[in-house]
Amino acid sequence: MKEIVSTQQNYFKKGKPKEVSYRKEQLRKLKNTLKSNEKRIFEALDADLKKPYFETYETELLISYQEIDHILTNLDRWARPQKVSGSLFNFPSQNYIYQQPYGVSLVIGAWNYPLQLTLNPALGSMAAGNCTILKPSELAPNTSSLLAELINNTFNAGYLKVIEGDAETTQEVLNQPLDYIFFTGSSRVGKIIMKSAAKQLTPVTLELGGKSPAIVDKNTDLSIAAKRIAWGKFINAGQTCVSPDYVYVHQSIEDKFCQLLQDYIAEFYGSDPQQSSDYARIINNDHFERLTNLISPQNIYHGGNTDPSDRYIEPTILTGIGWNDEVMEEEIFGPILPILTFKKLDQVIEPINNYHSPLALYIFSDSKEKQETLIQSISFGGGCINDTIAHLGNLELPFGGIGNSGFGNYHGKSSFDLFSHSKSIMKKRNWPEVPLRYPPYDGNLKWLRKLSKLL
């Protein structure tokens, strides 16, 4: 690890990664590498998660392609020193913000979108002019080893390097002098990462999880709400950091809503989702066991079937759920959807706010007033009105959490900003020389007060 990090430090010092033309060339090279290996990427994700090819293209590859294209279009402008207005106290002066890369970044990825969650932050790091070490999750071993092979055979190790391994490997690299750490994963490990980073005062971004609610009011297109919630919940078998963890539905429409959810599950995955090529599997046996224990038989409205030999869990809806049930204790991160009910909107605000700021929140309501009330009164990372997950698809929208769901935003320009230090520079001439600021200060205070009122 020591050698890997020092190789990158030396390469960074040589200055190549700071050249905008070099950054663009490397990003194009990465896109070409992905493009020419799509088949192998589909196969790796199929082996890790039985991820449908469509989902691999939509939620892993396309996201990376779009991010690269967006950077290539805008990088010249982002990287240029930005001129800002001057202050009268320092007249005349020219003022600029220079974007400076940090140096060597470490990107630690999660297993649920094992390609995209490792590559996308790295794209921001590369765009900003850093050298980058990627550590994909060991829980998606096929994607991890393919990423290592593709990147390590294509790029100079001083610039871009994949290291593989578990917590021990990560700890080893965290002990090196890094300049930026970007972590995606659980809040539990996020705390460990931050503690390690603190030892060397390394800046850190934590993209964590949370219990993201969907709120369904009675005045909404119920069919669209059920369809978009079923899609957002069961894509990747519920193993999505921004999937609706649970639904708060108005009591008067609960039956209709649950019926619609059930209909859409059948429409998406057929009468036996285990036979569907469009439905993913649980990542490993530990998570399979954890999730099956959350299915309380007395609450099953739909689904509940499981098959350990295939790590299959049927899309499952639980009703009659309250905050004291085990399924409401932690982020579910699987295809189990608890339904809670409310009579007045106020009843949802307090319990959600008690849950330490979820990563996402989704509101299905035709009332602009209710939409605004919920947006303004609940703390959460980001979300949608009348949809789920879709906000991640707009590169103009910063993506990140708050509180227990993490801190720091990325995607699009936010990624570039995140991996850049904004260096403020004031350029002055040698004249005029204002004597007021220099000691001795006799009588100067009076003039400073007068001047500050004028300016």
Active-site residue list:
207, 241
What's the burial of 287, exposed, middle or buried (CB within 10 Å: 0-12/13-18/19+)? Answer: middle
Least distance from C-beta 15 to ligand NAD, angstroms? Answer: 31
Residues 367 and 217: beta-carbon distance below 8 Å: yes
Cβ proximity to ligand NAD, 63 vs 79, nearer residue: 63
Supply 108's token pair.
């630690």
Least distance from C-beta 191 to ligand NAD, angstroms? Answer: 10
Cβ proximity to ligand NAD, 159 vs 399, nearer residue: 399
Least distance from C-beta 150 to ligand NAD, angstroms? Answer: 18
Cβ proximity to ligand NAD, 79 vs 146, nearer residue: 146
By three-state DSSP, how is residue 348 classified? helix
What is the chain's Cα-based Rg? 25
How far apart (Å, rounded) are the C-alpha atoms in residues 95 and 84?
5
CB atoms within 10 A of CB 88: 11
What residues contact residue 113 under an 8 Å CB cut-off, 6+ apart? 59, 60, 236, 240
What's the burial of 353, exposed, middle or buried (CB within 10 Å: 0-12/13-18/19+)? Answer: middle
Distances 411 to 122, 259, 288, 397 between C-alpha atoms, Å = 11, 36, 31, 7
Cβ proximity to ligand NAD, 166 vs 289, nearer residue: 166
Least distance from C-beta 94 to ligand NAD, angstroms? Answer: 39
Least distance from C-beta 306 to ligand NAD, angstroms? Answer: 20
Element (H, E) at 82: strand 82-84
Residues that bind ligand NAD (CB under 6 A): 108-112, 117, 135, 137-139, 166-167, 170-171, 184-186, 189, 192, 207-209, 241, 331, 333, 359, 401, 406
